[in-house]
Structure 1
Amino acid sequence: MTAVRDSLCNMEPVHIPRPQISGLQFIPTRGRLGFYATIRRDGEKYGVGIKPIGPRRPVLSDRLFIDDSNISKSSDSTTDGSEKKQNMKSLSEQVLFHVLARFLIIIIKISNII
C-alpha cells in the first residue's frame, strides 16, 4: 500500500490541454493563464457574446495634482471655520428635508388606506 501511495505522491500534476479552435488565437500571459485575442472580434461565430466596450471615464483634471503646500492659509483660517459651519448646517438641513419628506409620504399613504 505504501508503494502505491508513494507512486501517487511522485506523479506530476495533470495538465488539461487547452482546446485548439481554429480562428481563435490564445495569448499566454503567465504560466497557463492567458486570453483569446480574437474572441471579441470573432466570438459570435462560436456562440460567445461579448458586450461592447462602453465609454471610458473622463480624464482627471491637472488641478487635482497641484501641490497646495505653497498656498498661504494664514488669513483664510477664520473664514474656513465659518465655511465649514455653513456646509455642516446645509448638510443637516438636507438630511432633515429628506427625513421629513419620507415622513410626509408615509402619512399620505396611511391616510389613503384609512
Structure 2
Amino acid sequence: LYISALQRKGIPRLFQKIDAVSTGYNFRVTTGDLNRFFEKMLRSNPPGMYKGKVLHLYYITQVAVRPPSFVIFTNAPKGVTTNYQRYIQNKLRSAFGFEGAPIKIKLRLRK
C-alpha cells in the first residue's frame, strides 16, 4: 500500500484498508458456515497421516474475536503440521475476509 503525506496520495485507500482490517478483526462466523467451509477444504486437501493412522479433523468453531480464534477438534493434535495450520489460516482469511487480522488456531483432542 503506497501512501505519501507530502503528496497526499493513497490516504483514502489507507482508511479503506483500516476499515477492512477492523471489520475482519471483529467478525464472527457461525459454526455451521465454518463447518461447511471446513468440509470443502478437507475434501480438496486432506491433512494426511500421523504415525501410520489417518489424521481426522472433525470440526471447527470460532471461540473468540479480537483476534479471531478458532478451535479444531482432531484425533491427533500433534499430527497437524505448522504448514497445514498455516494453510487453514490462509483459507479462512480468503473465505471470510479476515484480511490483515491475525488468526489463532488451537488444536484440541476430541474425546
What's the TM-score, normalizing by structure 1? 0.21
Q: Find the structure with the greater CA-based Rg.
A: 1
Structure number having the greater strand percentage? 2
- Per the normalisation by structure 2, the TM-score is 0.22
Pick 1 or 2: higher relative contact order, CA cutoff 8 A, min separation 6.
2
More helix by percentage: 1
